Amino acid sequence: MTDAASPLPDPVPDGAPGLVVTDLAKAWKPGQRPVFSGIDFALPRNGRLALLGRNGQGKSTLIKVLGGVLRPTAGQIRWTMSASWPIGFGGGFQGSLTGLDNIRFLARLYERDFDALLDHVDDFAELGSDLKKPVKHYSSGMRARLAFGLSLAIEFDCYLIDEVVAVGDARFQEKCREELFARRADRAFIMASHDTHLVERECSRALILEGGQARLYEDVHEAVEAYSFLRAA
């Protein structure tokens, strides 16, 4: 039986990983070839794991499965640290609501003060009066800025990232990197990205998805070399 959110026994032993993934698989329909299968890894509480793979190999799908947006077909995901929703191009919002209403909903969901959350998101996302518009009218970049601003307004132990650092101009991208990678240097994250320079700079390990299978590399530089070979093939 699939168990997508079973916790480890309490109390958590000292040194135990914050995430354990066992024999994870995802297929869209029964009997259909899985997007991926047999994924096994553990993430320390300060671990930084890159997800690498060519387009269509399942990186974003894996991020969504780990974040609880999609249910796995098989396997087990066990979190013992708090994890963000997938930070990406606007997933998880109610499009008919305004940016303000989405902030208000998350403030209630996470039991945060709305005014404090709004101030943080407004300062970071730089959307101004656009927060009063329905999110369905936002560009993909605006939706991602709102998602990133909200994700950093609420503190998590682990951040799930799907190419969001490519949002906006160079100044805003640097702002994102500073907030996530420098100010939260003690946090864990799992990042799907095609930016090999960013991966080598910020990650310590990498998981390459290819043809429905996954290979874990303990050396991120070795993983980038293998990934570069796949992209050139």
Q: Are residues 199 and 105 in the same domain?
A: no
Mean pLDDT, residues 184-202: 92
Strands 36-43 and 158-162: unpaired
Mean pLDDT, residues 130-154: 85
Q: Are residues 162 and 78 in the same domain?
A: yes
Q: Are residues 57 and 33 in the same domain?
A: yes
Q: How confident is the model at residue 179, as a pLDDT?
A: 85
Q: How confident is the model at residue 207, as a pLDDT?
A: 97
Considering only residues 168 and 123, tell me which one the structure prediction assigns the higher pLDDT: 123
Q: How confident is the model at residue 162, as a pLDDT?
A: 84
Domain boundary among the residues 135, 155, 175 is at 155
Task: Please check the confidence at residue 164 and state whether its pLDDT lies above 70.
Answer: no
Q: Are residues 227 and 133 in the same domain?
A: no
Cα 57 to Cα 112, 120, 142: the distances in Å are: 37, 35, 26
pLDDT band (50, 70, 90) for residue 213: very high
Q: Are residues 9 and 117 in the same domain?
A: no
Q: Is position 6 within any domain?
A: yes
Most confident of 93-97, 133-137, 162-166: 133-137
Place of tokens 């109610």: 94
Please state, rounded to an integer, the average pLDDT across all residues of the chain. 87
Preceding omega of 134 cis (within 30 degrees of 0): no
Q: Are residues 68 and 175 in the same domain?
A: yes
pTM across the whole model: 0.83
Q: Are residues 18 and 79 in the same domain?
A: yes
Q: Are residues 33 and 148 in the same domain?
A: no
Q: Are residues 42 and 132 in the same domain?
A: no
CATH code assigned at 182: 3.40.50.300
Q: Are residues 116 and 134 in the same domain?
A: yes
Q: Is position 71 within any domain?
A: yes
Q: Are residues 54 and 164 in the same domain?
A: yes
Percentage, residues of the chain above pLDDT 90: 58
Q: How many domains does the chain have?
A: 2
> Tens of pLDDT along 63-121?
999 999 899 999 999 999 999 888 765 555 677 899 999 899 989 988 999 999 999 99
- Containing domain of residue 184, as a range? 1-84+158-233
pLDDT band (50, 70, 90) for residue 217: very high
Q: Is position 98 within any domain?
A: yes
Q: Is position 89 within any domain?
A: no
